[in-house]
Structure 1
């Protein structure tokens, strides 16, 4: 009988939340930084939540944010 070990793949979901008194661009930069950190820790996937026009969330186009995350990372898979 052979034994196999299945590796658990972990993911991150980020909403790119804005903070009171801070510019929205900071939230976007924080999302990219989080994606880089998740990649460095070996996470498999980084999800950007769908949030079209939701108050308190930076940006209105998750696909654009996902593209920025993908451009800043090399191995983590990016999705919305």
Structure 2
């Protein structure tokens, strides 16, 4: 079945508030996980600082482009403030670019209570 890794989506130690460096280090980290035999890497959606994954599908695309075998999953995309069709289009496109390597995780968020359903 293989091992899985979960992204904490925070800048790495010593990076500070520099998201570009943290994003590149995330890709490097997943490459390393792939070399160690990990089967999956999960990226959770977070919107408050110091998170670097407000748009997980974009980060997943960078990770998939920078690796060859490891599966990339969203754990989880927040469905409250986003329309289901948009989520399906984004992940469908990613799945076409990285066949057999994308896992979609969905979840509710506190935003459901703050702004209501779409």
TM range (shorter): 0.7 to 0.9
The residue that corresponds to 1:17 in the other structure is 10
How large is the Cα RMSD of the aligned pairs? 1.6
Deviation by residue 1:21-74 (Cα, 9 ceiling, x = unmatched): 4411111011100100000011000111121x1211114101100110000000
Please give the TM-score of this superposition, normalised by the length of structure 2: 0.56
Contact 2:45-2:53 at 8 Å conserved across structures = no
Q: Which runs of 5+ in 2 are unaligned?
A: 75-118
What TM-score comes out, normalization by structure 1 length?
Answer: 0.79
Runs of 4+ in 1 over 3 A off after TM superposition: 19-22
* Separation in structure 2 between the aligned mates of residue 21 and residue 10 of structure 1, nearest angstrom: 29
Structure of higher RCO (CA pairs closer than 8 Å, 6+ residues apart): 1
In structure 2, C-alpha distance between the alignment counterparts of 1:67 and 1:55, rounded to whole Å: 21
CA distance in 2, matches of 1:37, 1:58: 19
